[in-house]
Structure 1
Amino acid sequence: MFASLAPARRRLVFAVLALLLVGIVAAVAAFVVTRPTSDPVASVDQSVPGPVLLIPGFGGSTESLDVLAAELRDDGRDATVVALPDGGVGDLTVQAGTLRDAVDAALTRTGATSVDVVGYSAGGVVARIWAADLGGSEQARRIVTLGSPHHGTQVAALAAQFVPDQCADACQQLAPDSSVLTALNSGDETPEGPQWVSIWTELDQVVTPPSSASLDGAIDIPVQSVCADSTVDHGNLPRDPLVGAMVSAQLDGDSTVELGTADCSRLSS
């Protein structure tokens, strides 16, 4: 077809076709970039608090969270500690399904439209999986995590490497390079809908480094940034009076709040 054309005219035709091809590619790229991927999640009403669900950490022990739950009940809140399957050492995604069922049951029981969730240690990761993958971002008003290894802990990595037979599924998934954490942190770490807070201690020897508990998009509060002399460690986060007061402050009112040294005296009293 083009062979019969004069060289100059052939070059002109090829140039026009090239311009048309560039235009088509640009139009397709613009469509891909601008097309909506999904409808945004509406922010949950912050003015009406519902029940509080507390999620244990690795091992599933409820003892320390029972202390925090009792404090929240003294504040007039409906607070329940969620019992995790497999002794709290099984697949974190399965644990997130248990949280989903507990939330649905709490909403049915109370008639509330949303819940507040407090996740301790691995429980904070469970809360994030629920929010990101199981519709939790449409049901949660506030999500507060306590000493949660959002970006993994070297303790789990060492256990997975040197004693793999003793590092259960949840342990393996809490290693920094696990597929669960890689997927969870590959996009928005704090999906729209709830308000997010991460409370952690700089003296954590379980979540290593402690800054792994920092969560992009959340109000980020090391306990020592409020009271510099706090010696709370990982295991005592849920039962520490200062931390309990910090959690209550985040679940009260119409919004979460930044906390600092000016709040130490008030929260410690």
Structure 2
Amino acid sequence: MKRSTRPRALRSAILSGVSLLAVGFAGTSATAAPDPAPAEQQAPTEQQLADYISAGLKAKPVADSGSACTSGSGAGSGNGSGDCLGGSGSSSGSSGGYSSDTTVYGPSMTSWLAAFGYGLAHPDANPPGANDWNCKPTAEHPRPVLLIHGTWMNAYNGYAYMGQPIKDAGYCTFTFNYGRSNLIEGGGLGSVLPGVMGTGYIQDSAKQLSAFVDRVTAATGAPKVDIVAHSQGGAMANWYTKFEGGAGKVQHLITFGATHHGTSLDGIGALGRAVNNAGIDVLGFVEIFVGHAGIQQTIGSDFVNKLNAGGDTVPGIDYTIVGTRYDEITNPYELTFLKAGPGAQVENITLQDGCDQDLSDHLTMMYSPRALSIALRALDPAHSVPLQCTFNPPLVGGGGGL
């Protein structure tokens, strides 16, 4: 019963938010004629929402893809010097932040909730299996695998479950903490917690990823890497392949719940973007809480528009894109999927297809045995890896075990 109720509730929330977004659209046009249709028929379809994401509300320059965000602090800085926020109006804090290596190893975890708590208390913990800098790729698995965490996460709690099994499958695995920005640097209130990473400008984080990839390839001797990424990590890795020289250095890009086309945040982010583009800065205020990266991932941002302006993919990369029907962060969850361009291969996968009992949400999908088996199959498509199908609850993950 719960499985049938939650999707309806989620869809209702999305359509409510998108209905409000339609009001924002109407408010931007002085010549718009009233629609006599009932309110429930006026909600934009998912295709209309996709068209909005593709076109954006404002025809204005976007951030220079070749330079990091260097806007100053205070109101209005988001629309100056590169417009790093993407049409949000104002920016809390300045650009800044850094990446860092993990240090001592933390324990393996099957529960996202337990791993998240451990990661907050041990922000520099290394997920099991990762960062053996003496590891050399084999002929069977010639590319090292980079594990890239998401917003408000870190390397440990992003991969405390997947890290060791991927290592045990014969891969050299590496990870790091990116986007470490404090409150003054625009990381948002969440950044006061020591284990919260991935809050700085995504363009800056992509430069940090670029430097880390070069370190890994230099240490292993491999010309290319494969990337497994969650949430913002997927969009950031995609930016790296398009604008930071990563196109020739990545073979497989495997993402889970990635914000490739932004998110409506159950309609809230979509409404905020519409209100902002109508001239009232609400996202600048919200940014104080969620940080630069959070606002950049709302639909219609300059970051999202620039990321997809030339198509979803780059030639030569194989993409495996995984979404979950119960994603409360990247939604509608179909926004995570990509359309293959010339020279690229894309496999879009809904986690619940063929496995209704997997109830993973945005965070617990990284603790799903099925998600892990999808990642392993994508890393080595020549050898069939059977897909697992087990119960994985939302909020806790790992079959509920702590």
Shift in alpha-carbon separation, 1:162–1:150, aligned structure 2, 3 A: same
The aligned residue for residue 94 of structure 1 is 204
User: How far apart are residue 165 of structure 1 and its match?
Assistant: 2.0
Distance 2:347 2:230 in 1: 16
User: How far apart are residue 68 of structure 1 and its match?
Assistant: 1.1
User: How far apart are residue 210 of structure 1 and its match?
Assistant: 1.0
The aligned residue for residue 168 of structure 1 is 291
The aligned residue for residue 193 of structure 1 is 316
- Give the greater-gyration-radius structure (CA): 1
Q: Is the 8 A contact 1:69 1:81 kept in 2?
A: no
Distance 1:47 1:178 in 2: 41
User: How far apart are residue 249 of structure 1 and its match?
Assistant: 0.4
The aligned residue for residue 53 of structure 1 is 146
Distance 2:330 2:145 in 1: 24
Work out which of the residue numbers 365, 374, 382 in structure 2 matches 1:246.
374
The aligned residue for residue 144 of structure 1 is 254
1:202-250 per-residue CA deviation (whole Å, 9 max, x = no partner) reads 1101112111111111210010113133211111111211100110000
- Is residue 244 of structure 2 the alignment partner of residue 134 of structure 1? yes
- Is residue 169 of structure 2 the alignment partner of residue 75 of structure 1? yes
1:8-58 per-residue CA deviation (whole Å, 9 max, x = no partner) reads xxxxxxxxxxxxxxxxxxxxxxxxxxxxxxxxxxxxxx9863100011100
Unaligned runs of 5+ in 1: 1-45
Q: Is the 8 A contact 1:153 1:212 kept in 2?
A: yes
Aligned-CA RMSD value: 2.3
Q: What is the count of residue pairs matched by the alignment?
A: 217
* Paired residue secondary structure (1:116): strand
Distance 1:107 1:192 in 2: 21
Distance 1:136 1:171 in 2: 23
The aligned residue for residue 223 of structure 1 is 351
The aligned residue for residue 336 of structure 2 is 213
| 1:90 partner amino acid | G
Distance 1:242 1:225 in 2: 11
* Paired residue secondary structure (2:255): strand
User: How far apart are residue 183 of structure 1 and its match?
Assistant: 0.7
- Is residue 202 of structure 2 the alignment partner of residue 202 of structure 1? no
Q: Percent identity?
A: 25
Shift in alpha-carbon separation, 1:121–1:140, aligned structure 2, 3 A: same
TM-score by length of 2: 0.51
- Is residue 389 of structure 2 the alignment partner of residue 268 of structure 1? yes
Equivalences for residues 29-40 of structure 1 within 5 A: none
| 1:52 partner amino acid | V
Q: Is the 8 A contact 1:205 1:233 kept in 2?
A: yes
Q: Is the 8 A contact 1:66 1:81 kept in 2?
A: no
| 1:132 partner amino acid | K
Distance 2:236 2:287 in 1: 22
Q: Is the 8 A contact 2:287 2:294 kept in 1?
A: no
| 1:51 partner amino acid | P
TM-score by length of 1: 0.75
* Paired residue secondary structure (1:220): strand
Distance 1:131 1:75 in 2: 26
* Paired residue secondary structure (1:267): coil
Work out which of the residue numbers 92, 106, 112 in structure 1 matches 2:216.
106
Shift in alpha-carbon separation, 1:185–1:252, aligned structure 2, 3 A: same
Distance 1:188 1:254 in 2: 28
Distance 1:141 1:226 in 2: 27
